[in-house]
Each structure stands twice: as structure tokens, then as C-alpha cells.
Structure 1
């Protein structure tokens, strides 16, 4: 327990270093500190060692790419592309995402939450610092590819961990797009995404929901509704919080005359919603036995916490009421 707390402290220190520094040397140190502190948390059980090793190798390759960019410091464009590729690799965005989905099977829900949220902060912030000075078509290509891969990868996906993995890739594309419009929009989007994902992961963890969608028909109706309210929010279904954060990005793209990108983002959001709604219909229609939600909860207070976090997804309704 003490060691876990120590590693979490070092992860926090690494993130603070990245937040507070504009020096690429200190940013690199912060990235490595978060990586090496996260790896021991991945290897808690023997069956998780393989996932920890894959994560280590992937992050090491990204770090090597960062180091390899130093000989090209006198070539501004070469450094820019090397750094961008290295950070895209570290964050697990397409086309350098092969390692990201592969490690999902061996991680538990707590580790997945860290991977989807905390471990993305460093590389995404570093990308923002890089793109402050220069925006180009390659970066736009990464955005388009991330959203396409995340949306298409989730189609016909039966394992919840893999489904959330592809959802994370899709939201990486949305987060990258929010960077175009400044620091505060990026931070706001990432906070809202992390909030919705935390609510969803709490439901999965405390209700001990199955790993496969094939077993969803054994869920109670209340379990299914609570789970899918958060999943639909993550997909951008109005009037949930996820709709507000995606609408914010699409509106900014439209006002900046990115008309094609706006239409593309809407189409990808609708595609994601299509298979989320299909899953919702599948689980609710196959529900025969409706059990009480409290039976699966270890503590009734946990139910209240999850319910409160889920209800906060309706906050955008208040926003639109006062427009």
C-alpha cells in the first residue's frame, strides 16, 4: 500500500513537471517519471506482467524517438515531426496504436482508468506545447485517423474493455481537435471526458459487471440503464454532458470555417452512437429478470456516489435552459 502511494506521488510529480515547464528536457523527464511510476502498478499480478512489459516497450520506443530528435535541433521542421510522432506513439493514437489495444486484456479496471486518463495527460499536454508554435496538415491527419479508428474499431466489438479502448482512441482525436482552439478548451474537454469515464468505470467496478457483452442479458434493468446512461454520454448523446463537450468542439470548428471537419466529426459521433444504442437495445430487450441494484453493491453509499455522478451528466440541460 505504501509503495502504491509512493508511485502515485511520482506520477503526480511528473504531471506537475509537464504542466509547469516549457523546457523539452524537463517535459521529457516528466514523461519518463510518469511512465516508470505507472509500470509497477501494472504488474500487481503475474498475469498482468505481459501487459506491463508491452506498455514498457511501447513507451520506451516513444522515448527513443524523442531522444533521436535532438541531433536535428538545427532543422526546425525535422524536430517538429519527430517530436509529434513520438508523442502520438506515447498517447496511443493511430496509426501508432497497435500496442494500446493489445494491453487491454491483461489490465484491471483501475489500471485501465489510469491508462485512459492520467497517463494521457503528459503526452497530450506535450503535444499542445508543440503545436502552439506550428499547426500543420499532418496533425489534422492524426485527428481524422484517430476518430475513424476509434469509431470503426468499436463496431461489433463484444468485450467491454476493448470497446472502451477504442472509445478512448476516438476521444483522443476529439481532444487533439480541441487543442486547435486553445489551452482552456483542451483542458475543459479533457476534464469532462475524464469525469464521464470515471463515472462509467465506477459503475463497472463496483457492480462487478461482466467483461463480455454476451453476458449482458444477466444484468438487471437498473444496472443496464445506469451503465448505458454513462456510455451514451461518452458517445455524445444529448442531453448528456458528453454531448455538450462534443458540440463545443464541432461549433468551434464550424466557426473557424472547418466545414468538412465539422461534418466529419458529426458523422463519426453518429456512428459511435449507432453501436452504443444497438448495445443498449440488445441488453434491455434481453433482460428477463429485474434484480435490485442494491444487492450487487458492497456499500449503499457507493450507490449514492455513482448515482450522483451519473445525474451530473444532465448538467447541459441547465446550460441550454439559460441560453
Structure 2
């Protein structure tokens, strides 16, 4: 059989497993679909990149452990007089591990480091739908859930510091995006599907630009003398981060509108402002066609200071509205 035909069949089975998973509310069926999805995703990693053996093993081990915990959680829910706090904690832990969120984010950064952009897109979109769907049908609205969600957002903002890799930057940004999606599950009207659709489209646009220009680090892009290309890259990255008034800010605005916890929203906005400011720090050299590793001068510092004030003012207007 033709190699390309085998690859296409694996890809179709991979998509079908995700589709069947999202069409059921039975935890046993969801668990079976997760296992089948894993069996299809591993060979897909191999077909797209021949140097993924180590990453494949790490991904398989982590996903197997999380699936085993999920199966144990399903069994415990069927027992009488079981402590539901323990069940919810196990459910939270296994899904958090499967998504690669803090404190289980180490495998996520290591596995994606050697992925091509197509596999990165599949890992951060289709593979993240299952945990979000499980949370949506079994909402764990607890203090532990809220705390872990906020800590994950804080960790994402810290990971961006002193990085020069697009992949690392997008990993941290994705962790922050998924914190917002999880936050939407705690509101009286869940909008994680809308946010996820926007996130997938923004990721697709940014990845297509990176593939087209063969860019993996900021230095590669900044050395490009094409000003129009750099300017378009700057706008795409601002949109991916959800900078107002770009299109990527719309799902965050929806979540802010429907959220029931104003305190958590304010904390999430503060972490978002930190990440946006760091994005400006990384992306401003695109407009200057140069890369400067030295400390920012007074004018640049003043620019970032005004930028933070502008973002704070914008969010204050939202709360007043």
C-alpha cells in the first residue's frame, strides 16, 4: 500500500476518534475514544517527523498515565459512599496532565520542542478538545480548580521571559488561552467552543506564516529585510495574543461579559497585560528590522509604560460598561 495512503488513513481515523468522542456523554465511551485517538496520534507523529522517537515515548507515557487515572475516576464514580472531593481531584489531575497545564507542563514543552508546526497545531487544537469537553460535561467548579487555572496563567506569563523561540512563546500563550477557556466553564453560560474556534483560527494563521517563511526564532524573522512581511507578522502575533482591538480579543470579551467571578477576571486580566507587554517587547524589533539584546533605553521603557496604562484604561472601561 502507498505510504501517502497509509498516512491519510491514519489521519482520517484520528479525526474520526475525536469526532466520536465529542458526540457522547458516556465516560466509558470517551475513555475508549481517547485510547484510540492516542493510538492514531503516535504514528501520525512518526509520519510527519522522523526525529520524534523521544518525544513520542514521552507523549505516550504521559497520556497513558492520564488515561489510566481517568479510567480509575470512572470506576470510583460507580461506587457507593465514595468521596466526591477525591473523585473531582482525580478528574482534575488527569485532565490537567493530559492538557499539559501547570504543574504538568514539563512534558508539553519538551515534546513540542522537536515538533513541526503541523503537529504542533494538531496537539494544541484537536488533542485539547477532549479534556475541555470532559470538563464541560462534568464541571468542577471548586476553589482548587479556580486556583490551578489562575496559577497556570501566571506560570504562562513567567515562561515567556527571556525566550527567543517562536514555539516556546506560542506554547506559553496557548497555556494562557486555555486558562481563559477553562474560566468560561465556570460561568453561567459556557463559551469555550467559541473561544476554541477563535484560538484554532488564530493559531492556523500564525503557523502558516511561520511555515511559509521557515521561521523558528525571532532572529530569523528580524533578519528578514521584507518590511511588509514583518509588519504582517507583527499584526498576526498581536491578534494571536488577543490584543484589543484585534479579532482575537472578542472571545475574551465574551468571557468577561458572562463571568460570575469578577475577582478571578481581574486577576486573569492582570496576567494578560503582562503577557501583552512581553509580546510588545518581542515584536517591536520586527518594526525596526533589528534585534537588540541590550537593555531597553528610556524611550522604549516609556513606550511600554504607556502601553500598560492604555491596556489598564481599556479594561477599566469594560468593567464600567
CA positional deviation for 1:239: 1.6
* Alignment pair present for 1:245 and 2:251: yes
Match of 1:128 among 122, 125, 136: 136
CA deviation string 1:221-264 (max 9, x = no partner): 222222221111121212211111112212322xx2x2221211
Query: Paired residue for 2:124?
Result: 116
SS in 1 for 2:113: helix
1:245 and 1:270 map into 2 onto residues whose CA distance is 16
Over 3 Å counting, the alpha-carbon distance change for 1:71 and 1:21 in structure 2 is closer
1:168 and 1:202 map into 2 onto residues whose CA distance is 17
Is the Cα contact below 8 Å between 2:27 and 2:74 reproduced in 1?
no
Which sections of structure 1, spanning at least 5 residues, go unmatched? 289-323
Query: Paired residue for 1:267?
Result: 270
1:220-235 matches, within 5 Å, as 220-235=226-241
Query: Paired residue for 1:318?
Result: none
Is the Cα contact below 8 Å between 1:250 and 1:266 reproduced in 2?
no
Query: Paired residue for 2:294?
Result: none
1:106 and 1:15 map into 2 onto residues whose CA distance is 24
CA positional deviation for 1:71: 4.6
Is the Cα contact below 8 Å between 2:198 and 2:251 reproduced in 1?
yes
1:93-242 matches, within 5 Å, as 93-131=101-139, 134-181=140-187, 185-209=191-215, 211-219=216-224, 220-242=226-248
CA positional deviation for 1:63: 1.1
Is the Cα contact below 8 Å between 1:250 and 1:265 reproduced in 2?
no
SS in 1 for 2:244: coil
1:260 and 1:287 map into 2 onto residues whose CA distance is 40
SS in 2 for 1:94: coil
What is the number of equivalent residue pairs in this alignment? Answer: 283
1:266 and 1:150 map into 2 onto residues whose CA distance is 13
* Alignment pair present for 1:277 and 2:274: no
SS in 2 for 1:47: coil
Query: Paired residue for 1:48?
Result: 52
CA deviation string 1:185-207 (max 9, x = no partner): 11001001111111111111122
Query: Paired residue for 2:295?
Result: none
2:108 and 2:256 map into 1 onto residues whose CA distance is 27
CA positional deviation for 1:68: 2.6
CA deviation string 1:293-312 (max 9, x = no partner): xxxxxxxxxxxxxxxxxxxx
1:268 and 1:130 map into 2 onto residues whose CA distance is 27
Compute the TM-score of the two structures, normalised by the length of structure 1: 0.83
1:179 and 1:14 map into 2 onto residues whose CA distance is 24
Is the Cα contact below 8 Å between 1:236 and 1:242 reproduced in 2?
yes
Which sections of structure 2, spanning at least 5 residues, go unmatched? 292-321
Is the Cα contact below 8 Å between 1:200 and 1:231 reproduced in 2?
yes
